[in-house]
C-alpha cells in the first residue's frame, strides 16, 4: 500500500563564521569611460556569487552591470577574502565591495559637485549618470566625470574597502556571547509517498520559503535553494557512506546515491525578503540554509504517512521497512487525518 504524508520543518541560521574574525576586502576602480573593475578574493564556486557581487558593485557605483568587470580569487592580484563558505559571500564580500565603491563614488561626486554646482551630498550616481538627488534633470554623464577626475583633477576614482561582521567569542563555561551578526530564516514542506511493503519513500513535492534578506538576484537564490533541497533529499533518504573499520566500502557514484534529475520532485520556491540594514542593499545569504530543513521535513512527512518516527539518517527503504515491522499493529498512521 502506498500512503501519503506531509511534513514541515523550519530553521534559523547565521551568516559568517562563529566568533572568529572573517573579513573580506575589495578594490575598485572606475575607468575613464565610466566602466569599472572590481577585485575580490571571493571564489565563485558555482553558486554565482561573482554575478551577485557585480550587481552590488553596479548599483553602488551607479554604473550599468554590463560595464562592470570582476577579477576574482587570485592571491597575488585580489585583496584577501576568507572564502566562499559559511553562507558569507554576498553579505561580507558584498559589504566590502559597498565600502570600496563608496570611496570611488565619493571622488566622482566631489568632482561632479564642481561641474553641477551642487554639493556632493546632494548628488547621486545612477545608471551611468551623476545627478542631483532632488533634480534628476540636473545631470552629467558619469563617464565625463570619471575622465575629468583622472585627467583633469588628477584624482583617479578608486576605492578599497573591507568588512568584518562584529562578533564575540563564547564564554567557555556558559556558551554565552554574540558569535554572529546576521540570521536568516526558512520553512520547508515535504510531501512524500511511502510504500508500506518495500519501505521505499518517494518525495512528491518540496516547498521552500526563505528569508535571505533582500535577494540581490532572485534567480540565483532560487537556484541555490533548489540545489540545496536536492542535497537535503540525498541526506534524508539515500546518501550513506558505508564505513567498516575505517574503510569506506562504497567509493563510487554507482553505490553512493546522490539524487539525480530522475529523483528530484517538483520544487516550489518562495522568498520572504526582509532587508537587513547591515547587509549590502539589505542582503544576507542562502547557501547553506537551503538544505537545512529538507531532511526533517521529509522525515516528518514519513511519520505523517505511515506513523513511524525514524531517528537515523539516511532513512533508507530498509530502515523504513524495519520501523514499519516494529510498529504496533494498533497504531493508526497520520497526524493530520
159 binds other proteins (CB under 8 A): no
Residue 151 phi/psi, 5-degree rounding, is: -90, -30
8 binds other proteins (CB under 8 A): yes
95 binds other proteins (CB under 8 A): no
- CA 251 to the chain's CA centroid: 30
Which of 33, 258, 260, 318 is in the footprint of other proteins by CB under 8 A?
Answer: 258
Side-chain-side CA neighbours of residue 169 (13 Å): 5
How far apart, in Å, are the Cα atoms of 22 and each of 12, 167, 172? 20, 10, 21
| Stretch binding other proteins (CB under 8 A), from 100-108, 114-122, 157-165, 183-191 | 183-191
Measured from the CB of residue 183, what is the shortest distance to other proteins in angstroms? 6
Strand partners, 178: none
Q: Which of residues 187-226 bind other proteins (CB under 8 A)?
A: 187-189, 191, 204-205, 207-211, 214-220
Which of 104, 109, 201, 305 is in the footprint of other proteins by CB under 8 A?
Answer: 305
313 binds other proteins (CB under 8 A): yes
Whether cis (ω within 30° of 0) applies to the bond prior to 314 is: yes
How far apart, in Å, are the Cα atoms of 307 and each of 4, 202, 235, 322? 11, 16, 21, 13
54 binds other proteins (CB under 8 A): yes
| Integer Cα distance of 221 and 121 in angstroms | 34
Q: Is 191 a catalytic residue?
A: no
Which of 27, 50, 100, 105 is in the footprint of other proteins by CB under 8 A?
Answer: 50
Q: Which is nearer to other proteins, 156 or 270 (CB)?
A: 270
The helix/strand/coil state of 230 is: helix
> Do strands 36-40 and 68-72 pair parallel, antiparallel, or not at all (unpaired)?
parallel
249: its cell numbers: 566500502
Measured from the CB of residue 145, what is the shortest distance to other proteins in angstroms? 19
| Stretch binding other proteins (CB under 8 A), from 26-34, 64-72, 107-115, 145-153 | 64-72
Q: How many CB atoms lie within 10 A of CB 76?
A: 4
Q: Which is nearer to other proteins, 253 or 326 (CB)?
A: 253
**Residue 154 region, left (φ>0) first, then alpha (ψ -120 to 50), else beta?**
left
158 binds other proteins (CB under 8 A): no
| Stretch binding other proteins (CB under 8 A), from 116-124, 146-154, 158-166, 173-181 | 173-181
Measured from the CB of residue 227, what is the shortest distance to other proteins in angstroms? 9
Which of 6, 29, 105, 148 is in the footprint of other proteins by CB under 8 A?
Answer: 6
Catalytic positions, please? 288
Amino acid at each position: 500500500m502506498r500512503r501519503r504524508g506531509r511534513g514541515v520543518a523550519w530553521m534559523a541560521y547565521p551568516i559568517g563564521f562563529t566568533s572568529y574574525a572573517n573579513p573580506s576586502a575589495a578594490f575598485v576602480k572606475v575607468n575613464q569611460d565610466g566602466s569599472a573593475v572590481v577585485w575580490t578574493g571571493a571564489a565563485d564556486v558555482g553558486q554565482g556569487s561573482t554575478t551577485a557581487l557585480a550587481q552590488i558593485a553596479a548599483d553602488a557605483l551607479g554604473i550599468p552591470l554590463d560595464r562592470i568587470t570582476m577579477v576574482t580569487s587570485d592571491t597575488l592580484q585580489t585583496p584577501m577574502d576568507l572564502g566562499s563558505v559559511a553562507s558569507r559571500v554576498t553579505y561580507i564580500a558584498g559589504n566590502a565591495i559597498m565600502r570600496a565603491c563608496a570611496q570611488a563614488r565619493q571622488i566622482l561626486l566631489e568632482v561632479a559637485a564642481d561641474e553641477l554646482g551642487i554639493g556632493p551630498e546632494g548628488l547621486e550616481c545612477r545608471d551611468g549618470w551623476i545627478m542631483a538627488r532632488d533634480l534628476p534633470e540636473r545631470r552629467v554623464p558619469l563617464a565625463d566625470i570619471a575622465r575629468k577626475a583622472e585627467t583633469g583633477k588628477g584624482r583617479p576614482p578608486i576605492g578599497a574597502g573591507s568588512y568584518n561582521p562584529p562578533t564575540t567569542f563564547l564564554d567557555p563555561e556558559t556558551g554565552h556571547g554574540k558569535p554572529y551578526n546576521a540570521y536568516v530564516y526558512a520553512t520547508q514542506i515535504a510531501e512524500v509517498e511511502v510504500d508500506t511493503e518495500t519501505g521505499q519513500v518517494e518525495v512528491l513535492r518540496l516547498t521552500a520559503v526563505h528569508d535571505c534578506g533582500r535577494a540581490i538576484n532572485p534567480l540565483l537564490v532560487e537556484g541555490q535553494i533548489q540545489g540545496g533541497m536536492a542535497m537535503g533529499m540525498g541526506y534524508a533518504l539515500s546518501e550513506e557512506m558505508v564505513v567498516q573499520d575505517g574503510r569506506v566500502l562504497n567509493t563510487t557514484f554507482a553505490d553512493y546515491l546522490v539524487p539525480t534529475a530522475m529523483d528530484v520532485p517538483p520544487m516550489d520556491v518562495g522568498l520572504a525578503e526582509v532587508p537587513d540594514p547591515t547587509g549590502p542593499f539589505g542582503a544576507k545569504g542562502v547557501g547553506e540554509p537551503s538544505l537545512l530543513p529538507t531532511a526533517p521535513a521529509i522525515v516528518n512527512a514519513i511519520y505523517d504517512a505511515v506513523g513511524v518516527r525514524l531517528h537515523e539518517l539516511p532513512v533508507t527503504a530498509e530502515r523504513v521497512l524495519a520501523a514499519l515491522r516494529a510498529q504496533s499493529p494498533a497504531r493508526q498512521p497520520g497526524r493530520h487525518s
